[in-house]
């Protein structure tokens, strides 16, 4: 794992600890304004010891897991598929076996590249027939956050109109914004309020500079629509994505105007709690004969899928060697204090 990548996921752990401590908001905000460094260290140690407690990950094949769980939550990119129509070997067969066995299946994705019905349709085209109801995306959480920001409950500042943002991401991601009544201003314009939204790392030197300029304004807000820091490419290499760009912007926007604390940052998706609330609601005990389901999250990323599963109270399986280099696994786990229940691959 890259150094910045590790630092980002460590920062997420600190935010989650702050969230569970305060329970003041359903969404996670950068804790620069609410926690001292020493407090952060204590909280970080707490989640680390909790995550390592009694964890002795077993190396398994997917078939070993089928009878152990009632519900299977899948990450999308890097786990089932990748760009275009690329599907990982064995993924379709695994999915079909679970459907045949009558298991509950969910797609839990940090994609904010379009609305859920389109993401579900795209997954179906690749051979994974998730319904819209079985799809929970990072972008779908924006509506609730926007409602909170418009009502003023999500931060100490005044309520926002939030009709416009400065946006860096895919063109289709504007559908996620439009679904919330938000327009992305053109790349050479400024939004009426200092709000920047990021859903991919498709920045240019010009858009990056403008985003920093906006985020240095008093009361500025950074909306991280996809919290993934790094992602695997089809050729096996890895690249920085939305979470990495957002972290660079967050750091570069630190300035005196905001009391040296930088912009307020709101993160959507895994590993943060809000997405898991939505997943849990979609898996009521009534679907499982009145008993709580045994749920597992299967993904390729330690800092989102595995950490997120721990936040949700689900078991987890990590696909090693895609977004998590096998040779760095032990070191990364020790740094973040996170281990899955199983390794696959």
Q: Within positions 71 to 110, which residues make up the interface with Mg ion, using CB under 5 A?
A: 75, 77-78
Return the range that interacts with Mg ion (CB under 5 A); candidates 42-50, 127-135, 141-149, 298-306: 298-306
Instruction: Decide whether 263 or 306 has the Cβ nearer to Mg ion.
Output: 306
Applying CB under 5 A, does 5 fall inside the site for Mg ion? Answer: no
CA 121 to chain centre: 20
User: Minimum distance from CB of 45 to Mg ion (Å)?
Assistant: 27
CB of 314 to Mg ion, least distance (A): 16
Residue whose CB is less far from Mg ion, 18 or 78: 78
Q: Print the binding letters for residues 27-66 with Mg ion: x by CB under 5 A, - otherwise.
A: ----------------------------------------
Least Cβ distance, residue 259 to Mg ion (angstroms): 36
Burial zone of 257 (CB within 10 Å; 0-12 exposed, 13-18 middle, 19+ buried): middle
300 lines the binding site for Mg ion (CB under 5 A): yes
Place of tokens 């089932």: 80
Q: How many helices (H) and strands (E) does the chain have?
A: 11, 15
Residue 82 C-beta: closest distance to Mg ion, Å: 9
Q: Which residues contact residue 276 at a Cβ distance below 8 angstroms, ignoring those fewer than 6 apart?
A: 308, 311, 312, 314
The site string for Mg ion over 245-284 (x = CB under 5 A, - otherwise) reads ----------------------------------------
Contacting residues for 209 by C-beta, under 8 A, at least 6 apart: none
- Contacts with Mg ion by CB under 5 A lie at 75, 77-78, 300
């Amino acid at each position: 794992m890259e150094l910045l990548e590790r630092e980002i996921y460590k920062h997420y752990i600190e935010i989650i600890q702050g969230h569970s401590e305060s329970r003041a908001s359903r969404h996670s905000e950068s804790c620069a304004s609410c926690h001292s460094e020493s407090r952060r260290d204590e909280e970080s140690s707490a989640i680390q010891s909790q995550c390592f407690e009694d964890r002795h990950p077993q190396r398994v094949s997917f078939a070993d897991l089928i009878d152990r769980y009632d519900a299977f939550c899948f990450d999308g990119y890097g786990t089932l598929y990748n760009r275009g129509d690329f599907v990982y070997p064995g993924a379709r067969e695994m999915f079909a076996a679970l459907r045949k066995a009558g298991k509950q299946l969910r797609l839990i994705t940090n994609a904010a590249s379009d609305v859920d019905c389109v993401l579900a349709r795209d997954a179906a085209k690749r051979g994974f027939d998730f319904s819209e109801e079985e799809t929970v995306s990072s972008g779908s959480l924006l509506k609730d956050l926007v409602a909170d920001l418009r009502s003023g409950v999500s931060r100490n500042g005044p309520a926002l109109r939030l009709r416009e943002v400065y946006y860096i991401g895919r063109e289709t991601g504007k559908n996620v914004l439009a679904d919330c009544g938000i327009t992305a201003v053109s790349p050479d314009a400024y939004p009426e309020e200092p709000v920047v939204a990021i859903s991919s790392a498709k920045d240019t030197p010009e858009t990056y500079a403008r985003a920093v300029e906006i985020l240095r304004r008093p009361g500025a807000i950074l909306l991280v629509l996809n919290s993934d820091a790094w992602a695997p490419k089809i050729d096996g290499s890895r690249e920085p994505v939305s979470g990495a760009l957002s972290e660079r912007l967050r750091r570069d926007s630190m300035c005196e105007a905001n009391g040296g604390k930088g912009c307020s940052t709101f993160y959507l998706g895994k590993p943060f709690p809000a997405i898991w609330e939505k997943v849990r609601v979609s898996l009521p005990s009534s679907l499982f004969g009145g008993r709580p389901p045994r749920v597992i999250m299967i993904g390729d990323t330690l800092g989102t899928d595995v950490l997120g599963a721990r936040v949700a109270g689900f078991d987890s399986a990590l696909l090693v060697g895609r977004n998590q280099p096998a040779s760095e696994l032990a070191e990364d786990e020790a740094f973040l204090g996170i281990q899955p229940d199983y390794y696959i691959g």
